[in-house]
Chains A and B, each alone.
Chain A
Amino acid sequence: GAGVSQSPSNKVTEKGKDVELRCDPISGHTALYWYRQSLGQGLEFLIYFQGNSAPDKSGLPSDRFSAERTGGSVSTLTIQRTQQEDSAVYLCASSLWGRTSTYEQYFGPGTRLTVT
């Protein structure tokens, strides 16, 4: 079936502008994660959604970053007043969920954000 999709694949924006990044998880996956990967670095956790529970926002680097997940499916990550240090690849992942179980996270292709 279809995997995790993200759009746009590339985004170039000017410093100070707002951007929205979209993630479509695998159908039936109730857990959705956003990560950020700077050039040559590991993945940095941003935010995690599970069903109707309050999201885990502990990884958001500043109040310029926010995310929502509508209807338990599509998610949008919004970065306001972008800064050059926001330039990175933003990766979304989804998985099945179980309170005491672990399931594979499937990653999307990412959105490469460049702030000029």
Chain B
Amino acid sequence: GENVEQHPSTLSVQEGDSAVIKCTYSDSASNYFPWYKQELGKRPQLIIDIRSNVGEKKDQRIAVTLNKTAKHFSLHITETQPEDSAVYFCAARVNAGKSTFGDGTTLTVKP
């Protein structure tokens, strides 16, 4: 089955700096890659996603890149703010099936 690895497990940055979180996946059939933000005690919320026919997608300060050949994808957050502090999860999916999640990255943005 699918296996998703996520790095780093913790990331601390200064406010205004950029943060990068990387994931690799094993199943070449995976074609949908969402990223979720989960604040303490809250449900995961989708922040950005990318499909396998696209190499990069941006939404304001957030961008995701996908390298299908290498089977890895990354989340980039620019101009980080304290409210970006949360746990971020990547996931991989084949069409509408189950999502396989990474173990999460705890991002701390220091003011």
Chain A interfacial positions (CB closer than 8 Å to B): 31, 33, 35, 41-45, 48, 50, 56, 58-59, 91, 95, 97-105, 107-110
Contact = CB atoms under 8 A, between A and B. Distances in A.
Interface stretch (B57-65, B68-76, B98-106): B98-106
B3 to A, nearest CB: 12
Interface of B: 1, 6, 31-32, 34, 42-46, 49, 51, 89, 91, 93, 95-104
Given A42-B89, A58-B1, A102 B96 contact: yes
B75 to A, nearest CB: 15
Return the 9 tightest CB-CB contacts between A and B, nearest first.
Answer: A102-B32, A107-B43, A42-B101, A43-B101, A42-B103, A45-B98, A97-B96, A48-B98, A42-B104
A90 to B, nearest CB: 12
B97 A56 contact: yes
A97 B101 CA distance: 20
Nearest to A92: B43
A100 B103 contact: no
Q: Choose among A42, A48, A95 the residue with the greatest number of B CB atoms under 10 Å from its CB.
A: A42
A41 B96 contact: no
A72 B72 CA distance: 35
Nearest to A95: B96
B44 A33 contact: no
